[in-house]
Chain A
Amino acid sequence: MPTKAMFLMIRQLLQRPFTNPFPVKYAPKNVTKTIEKVKLGQMSINNPIPVPDGFRGKLKYDPERCIGCRLCITVCPANAMEWIPEVRKIRHYVTRCMFCGLCVDVCPGKKLPGETAPVKALSMSKEFLLADYDKYSDNLIVEPTSKEQSLNNQEPSSDQK
C-alpha cells in the first residue's frame, strides 16, 4: 500500500537540492589547503545567498564622526565596546558583538561643516564571514586609529581566513 509520504519522498529524490552548497558542494578533505587554493585563485567557491536590506553584519566605525558620547557603551548588551580615554573614542570587539544594532540606533553622529543632517559614526555592514583562528585578530577588532581604518578600507570586505 503506497502512502502519500512515499510519493513525496520519490518526488524529492528527483528534485534539485533546495539548499545552496556554500562554500563548496562536499566537505573538503583538507580545509586549510582548500582555503589556500581559493586564495590563490585555483578554485572557485559558490557564492552565499545575498543578504536582505537591513541585515546586521560586522559593525563599521567612522572615528571622524564619533563625538565620544559613550551611548553605544551604555546600551550594548554584550559589552562589546571599550572606551579609550586617551583619544576619547571606542574600540569594538566583533567576537563579543551579538549583532543587535542597538549602538547604531542610539548613535547621534556628527554634522561636519556643510552638511544638513548629522551622519552616524556607527553602521552595520553586510559582512558576515567572520570566522577566524584568533579572536583578537585585526579583522575582529575595530580600532579608532586612522591607520587601522585605512587598512580596513583597503582590504576586501569578504576577507575569510
Chain B
Amino acid sequence: MANDKVSKISKRYEIPIGPIHPALKEPIRVEAEVKGEKVVKVDVKRGFAHRGIEYMGMKRNAIQTLYLSERICGICSISHPYAFVLASEKALGIEPPPRAQYIRTIIAELERIHSHILWLGVVAHEIGFDPILFWTWKLREKVLDVLEAITGNRINYAMYMIGGVRRDIKESHILALRDMIDYYRKAADQMKDIFLSDPIYKARTKDVAKLSQDLALKLNIVGPTARAAGLRVDIRQDIPYDAYADIDVRAVVPQDIMGEVNGDAYDATLVRIYEIEQSLDIIEYCINNMPEGKLLAIPNYVALLTTIRKTQGEGIGAHEAPRGEVIHYVKYDGTRDGPVVWKVIAPSYNNINCWGPLLLGAEVADIPVVIAFIDPCLCCNDRIAFVKDENGRVLDYFEIHNMSVNKTMKIKRMLGV
C-alpha cells in the first residue's frame, strides 16, 4: 500500500489545456508535466488566434486599416490605433495639432485605468476572491462611463485619425473627468488597503511568479511585468510622444515605492495600482493645460487618402499600452492609399515568454496566478497551456482554479482569519 503511494507520487503526468476550451477566454495551449503538486516541464504553444489581420490591412486603405487595427484587441482598443497613427504620421510627415495630441493622451490614460482595474479583478478571481472581482469591476464602470460620454461607445472608441482625433473634449466632459479623478483617488487608496495590506492576498501572491531582473531582460519582458521586476522601462519615459513629451513621466517601479524588488505577482499588483494614480495625474495635467486649436491636421478624409497615395515613407509607432509596449511598422510606397507593409508587435507576445520559466517548479495551484499576472491578451499577440496530473489526466481550467481557491482557503485557515 505504502509502496503504491510512493510510486504514484513519483510518476509524471501531462496536463494539456486548450487550444479551444470552454473555460479559456482566448485560444492558447499550455502543456505542463506535473509530478505530485509541482510542475516539472512546461510548453506553451501559441498561434491559434491568427486571423491574418495584417494581410487584410495591406489590402485596404489607411483609414480602413486604422479601424481594423482597433479590432485587433477588444481591451486595448486605443493602443493599436495609437501606435498605428504614430507610425503613419511619421511615414507621412504629418504633425497632429497640439489639442489633438492632448486628447489622445487623455483617452490612452483612461484606457490604462480601466485595463488595470480589470486586471486587479481578474487576479482576485483567480485566487478565489470573487467579491473583490465584482467590487473592482464596479469601480471600472466609472471610467467606462466617462469614455462613453467622450467617445460615444464603451469600447471601440473610433476616436483616432491619422493627423489628429475625430471628437473634441467639451466642458461637460472635463467636469466628468474631474469628478472621475476624485473618485479614483479615493478608490486607489481603497484598492491599496484591499490588495496590498491584505494578509491573505500577500501570502497568496508574494514569491509567486517571481521574475528576476536578469530573466526579464533576457526574455524581453515589457510593460508593468518588467517594471514589477524592477526594470525602468516605459515608452512614455524612453520615447515620449504627444502630450507625454510635456509631462515628465517616470516608470513606476517597486523599489521607489517599497524600497525592494521581488518581481512577483504582489509587485505587479503594486505597480498597477500606482500606475492608476500616475494616469490620474497625467489626465489632470492634460485637462489643466489643454491647448486650444483644431483637431485634425487634414480634416478632409479624401484629401488625407490622396496625400497617402502620393507619399512614400515608412514609420515605426510605439505606444505604452496597459500591458506593455505595442509597436506598429507601416510603409507607404506612393502607389496606393493604404500601407504596403503593416507589422504589429503586441506586448503579450514578449510577456508570454516568461510563462515557461515561471511555471517550472511552481505548484499546480499557482498556475492561474502565473498565467494571469502578465495580463495576457491572446487576440493581440495571437498565439495554450496544458496541465496534467500524475495519472496523465488533463486538469481542466476549473480544477486548477478550484485548487487555487483551496490554497487561498488553506492560507486563510493557517493565518487564522
Q: Chain B's interface: helix, strand, loop or mixed, by majority?
A: helix
Q: How far is the CA of A44 from the CA of B197 in the complex (A)?
A: 46
Q: How far is the CA of A137 from the CA of B201 in the complex (A)?
A: 51
Over the window 20-59 of chain A, the binary record of Cβ atoms lying under 8 Å from chain B Cβ atoms (1 yes, 0 no) is 0000000000000000000000000000000111111000
- Interface window among B18-26, B60-68, B111-119, B273-281: B60-68
* Given A5-B132, A55-B152, A105-B166: A98 touches B67 (CB 8 Å cut-off): yes
**Interface residue from B64, B70, B197, B416 paired with A76 (Cβ < 8 Å):** B64
Over the window 121-133 of chain B, the binary record of Cβ atoms lying under 8 Å from chain A Cβ atoms (1 yes, 0 no) is 0000000010110
Q: How far is the CA of A56 from the CA of B154 in the complex (A)?
A: 10
**Interface residue from B138, B197, B302 paired with A4 (Cβ < 8 Å):** B197
Q: How far is the CB of A28 from chain B (nearest CB, A)?
A: 23
Over the window 377-417 of chain B, the binary record of Cβ atoms lying under 8 Å from chain A Cβ atoms (1 yes, 0 no) is 00000000000000000000000000000000000000111
- Report B-chain residues with C-beta under 8 Å of the C-beta of A52: 148-149, 152
Q: Does A112 contact B (CB under 8 A)?
A: no
For B199, give the chain A residue with the smallest CB separation: A3
For A69, give the chain B residue with the smallest CB separation: B302
Over the window 88-110 of chain A, the binary record of Cβ atoms lying under 8 Å from chain B Cβ atoms (1 yes, 0 no) is 00000000001111100110000
- Report B-chain residues with C-beta under 8 Å of the C-beta of A71: 301-302
Total residue contacts A-B, CB cutoff 8 A: 87
For B57, give the chain A residue with the smallest CB separation: A77
Q: How far is the CB of B326 from chain A (nearest CB, A)?
A: 19
**Interface residue from A1, A12, A56 paired with B415 (Cβ < 8 Å):** A1
Within 8 A of B (CB), among A67-85: 71, 74-78
Q: How far is the CB of B135 from chain A (nearest CB, A)?
A: 6
Please state if A101 and B158 are interface contacts (CB–CB under 8 Å): yes
Q: How far is the CB of A18 from chain B (nearest CB, A)?
A: 5
Please state if B64 and A75 are interface contacts (CB–CB under 8 Å): yes
- Report B-chain residues with C-beta under 8 Å of the C-beta of A117: none
Q: Does B206 contact A (CB under 8 A)?
A: no
Within 8 A of A (CB), among B298-355: 301-302, 305
- Report B-chain residues with C-beta under 8 Å of the C-beta of A18: 138, 141
Please state if B417 and A12 are interface contacts (CB–CB under 8 Å): no
Over the window 143-165 of chain B, the binary record of Cβ atoms lying under 8 Å from chain A Cβ atoms (1 yes, 0 no) is 00000110111001010000000
- Count of interface residues, chain A, beta-carbon cutoff 8 Å: 30
For A71, give the chain B residue with the smallest CB separation: B302
Q: Does A2 contact B (CB under 8 A)?
A: yes
* Given A77-B67, A106-B302: A5 touches B156 (CB 8 Å cut-off): no
For A18, give the chain B residue with the smallest CB separation: B138
Q: How far is the CA of A2 from the CA of B416 in the complex (A)?
A: 9
* Given A18-B138, A77-B63: A4 touches B194 (CB 8 Å cut-off): yes
Please state if A4 and B67 are interface contacts (CB–CB under 8 Å): no
- The CB with the most chain B CB atoms within 10 A, among A4, A54, A56, A77, is that of A77
Please state if A3 and B305 are interface contacts (CB–CB under 8 Å): no
Q: Does A87 contact B (CB under 8 A)?
A: no
Q: How far is the CA of A36 from the CA of B153 in the complex (A)?
A: 30
- Report B-chain residues with C-beta under 8 Å of the C-beta of A54: 151-152, 167
Q: How far is the CA of A3 from the CA of B201 in the complex (A)?
A: 11
Q: How far is the CB of A51 from chain B (nearest CB, A)?
A: 8
Q: How far is the CB of B111 from chain A (nearest CB, A)?
A: 17
Please state if A1 and B417 are interface contacts (CB–CB under 8 Å): yes
Please state if B148 and A5 are interface contacts (CB–CB under 8 Å): no
For B67, give the chain A residue with the smallest CB separation: A77
- Report A-chain residues with C-beta under 8 Å of the C-beta of B190: 8
With A55-B152, A78-B67, A106-B301 given, can you name 9 additional A-B contacts, CB distance below 8 Å? A4-B194, A4-B198, A52-B152, A56-B153, A77-B63, A98-B71, A99-B156, A99-B158, A105-B301
Residues of B within 8 A of A (CB): 60-61, 63-68, 70-71, 129, 131-132, 134-135, 138, 141, 148-149, 151-153, 156, 158, 166-167, 190, 193-194, 197-201, 301-302, 305, 415-417
Can you list 15 A-B pairs with a CB-CB distance of less than 8 A?
A1-B415, A3-B198, A3-B417, A5-B194, A5-B201, A8-B194, A12-B135, A54-B152, A55-B153, A56-B158, A71-B302, A76-B64, A77-B68, A100-B70, A102-B158
